[in-house]
Structure formats: structure tokens, C-alpha cells
Amino acid sequence: MTNADEELNIELIENSYNKYAAIAARATRRALKEDLRIRAERREATDIRPYRWEDGKQGEYKEEAKK
């Protein structure tokens, strides 16, 4: 098995696990009572900020135009 094949297998496993985890989390949230479900849904929301990395160092945050 080549290095590229190993990397592809790892990527497939990671993607499969991530999909499984997302499905399990959604099912768990749907099974909660309403008050707990609402709190869980609030925690689910995340804010992602893109940073440009150069020479192994994180640069400053720059809001990029959405396409």
C-alpha cells in the first residue's frame, strides 16, 4: 500500500466517523425534552473565523468577502 493509499483510507475513515458523529448528535438532540433541546441547540451554533497562515505562524483575522 502506498502512502497516498494510506492517506486516502485515513481520510475516508475520518469522514465516515464525522458523518456518524453528526447523525448521532442530531438524533440525541431530537430526543431531548424541549427545554434541554433548546439549550443544546444554542451550544451547537459556532462562529468560525478564517485566519491566513504564513511561514507556520497565524496571521491576523481579516474578514473576507463572501462569494
- Residue 22 inside a domain? The answer is yes
- Residue 8 inside a domain? The answer is yes
- Residue 24 inside a domain? The answer is yes
- Residue 57 inside a domain? The answer is no
- Residue 23 inside a domain? The answer is yes
Q: Which residues contact 36 (CB under 8 A, 6 or more apart)?
A: none
Residue with the bigger pLDDT between 22 and 8: it is 22
What total of structural domains would you count in the chain? 1
pLDDT at 67: 47
- Residue 63 inside a domain? The answer is no
The average pLDDT across 16-43 equals 88
48 and 63 Cβ atoms separated by less than 8 Å: no
- Residue 21 inside a domain? The answer is yes
- Residue 12 inside a domain? The answer is yes
Whether the full predicted model's pTM is greater than 0.75, yes or no, is no
Domain hosting residue 27, numbered range: 3-46
